Amino acid sequence: MWEFVNFYFLPGVVLGCIYALGALGISLTFGILRFANFAHGEIMMLGAYFTLSLTALTGLPPLAAALPAMALTVAVTLALDRAAFRPFRGAPAIISVIASFGLMLMIRSAVQFFWGVQPRPLLRGIQRPESFLDGAILLPPKHIVIIGSALVLMVLVHLLLSRTRIGKAMRAVSDSPGLARLTGIDVEAVIRATWAVAAVTAVAAGVLLALDTHVESMMGFKMLLPMFAAAILGGIGRPFGAVAGGLVIGIAEEVSSFPFGGTEALLNPAYKSGIAFAIMVAMLIWRPSGLFKGRVF
């Protein structure tokens, strides 16, 4: 029982928190800019590399270095929007998808060019797990940090979307861009805010993932499918649906290799990343609007 919780369920929650942060940005950009951004994973990876370099340059701990890295990544994302996406605002959404597909490869090859392809740790050394409930539950400190920071960020995004003027404007554009424009909302400002929120949450997801594993140039692409699956599972344009979707997929991926009722893993761990795809396909067949009645384009 505790083996299940410690080695399958809790790692699933940790992974789920990371997916949730990533899916949040995908869901927001899909809802407001109305296209599936394939470069989201690479923005996340870029932020992790900025953090890596900033820790090396300044000696700051990773979470502190993540803040200037977020600012940098937001700047890069806004520049990319202007260069690659703004020319297609009025064009069919699929053109933006193609542009994002190209950006995905460009960002990755640029990172590989400057930083190389060797995986690098963000956090050195081995951590002793903290024990709770008289040693029944074991959780390494980094996992506590990941879950804690993810929760803080989700609450902040929630407050932004529900309490601030720009957050409300973002939800209005997501529901109906035409109507939002008619009421005098500056749609371009909303788009910039959306990119900023997406970039900040993406960098957070990237740094937290790097804390758990390491920084590598393929990390963004590996996250792409689970993040899209989480966004679709929760319902496009429903940020908290994306969070729930991320948790479900993270937990499902880890729990799938638990040997239920036998000695063999339920699913060969090599196929772990197939779980997200299977869940996504199932949703597309039976309920494309997702669990929380999102948008279907």
Partner 1 sequence: MEAYGYGLYLVTLLSAGGIYAILALGLNVQWGFGGLFNAGIAGFFAVGAYASAILTTAATPEHLGGFGLPLALGAVAAMAVSALIAWGIGRICIRLRSDYLAIATIGIAEILRLVLKNEGWATNGPRGINRIPKAFEGLPEPWAQLGFLAMVLLTVLALYLLLERAWRSPWGRVMTAIRDSEAAARAAGKNVERFRVQAFVLGAAVMGLAGAYYAQYIKFIGPDATDPLTATFLVWVMLIAGGSGNNRGAILGAFLIWTVWSATEIFTPRLLGLLAGLLPADLAAELKAETVVRSAYLRVFLIGLVLQVVLQRYARGILPETRPAVAAAPPPAAARERG
Q: Which spans of this chain sit near partner 1 (rule: CB under 8 A)? A: 30, 35-36, 38, 83-84, 87-88, 91-95, 97-99, 101-106, 108-110, 112-113, 116, 221, 224-225, 228, 232, 268, 270-271, 273-274, 276-277, 280-281, 284-285, 288, 296-297
Minimum distance between the CB of residue 152 and partner 1, rounded to whole angstroms?
29
Minimum distance between the CB of residue 289 and partner 1, rounded to whole angstroms?
11
Helix (H/G/I), strand (E/B), else coil: 236: strand
Nearer to partner 1, 19 or 35 (CB): 35
Residue pair 7/251 in contact by the 8 Å Cβ criterion:
no
Nearer to partner 1, 97 or 144 (CB): 97
Minimum distance between the CB of residue 125 and partner 1, rounded to whole angstroms?
28
User: Which ranges of 85-186 does DSSP label H, i.e. alpha helix?
Assistant: 93-115, 141-163, 165-175, 177-182
How many residues appear in the chain?
297
Nearer to partner 1, 7 or 271 (CB): 271
How is 14-28 classified by DSSP, letter by letter? Answer: HHHHHHHHHHHHHHH
The region, left, alpha or beta by phi > 0 then psi within -120 to 50, assigned to residue 135 is left
Nearer to partner 1, 97 or 255 (CB): 97
Minimum distance between the CB of residue 124 and partner 1, rounded to whole angstroms?
24
Minimum distance between the CB of residue 252 and partner 1, rounded to whole angstroms?
15
Nearer to partner 1, 58 or 86 (CB): 86
The conformation of residue 137, written as its DSSP 8-state character, comes to E
Residue pair 65/54 in contact by the 8 Å Cβ criterion:
yes
Q: In this structure, is the dihedral angle defined by the CA atoms of residues 237, 18, 1 and 264, taken in order, positive or negative? A: positive
Q: How far apart are CA 21 and CA 221, in angstroms?
A: 15
Q: Which amino acid is at 166?
A: I
Q: How far apart are CA 117 and CA 110, in angstroms?
A: 11
Nearer to partner 1, 154 or 219 (CB): 219
Minimum distance between the CB of residue 226 and partner 1, rounded to whole angstroms?
10
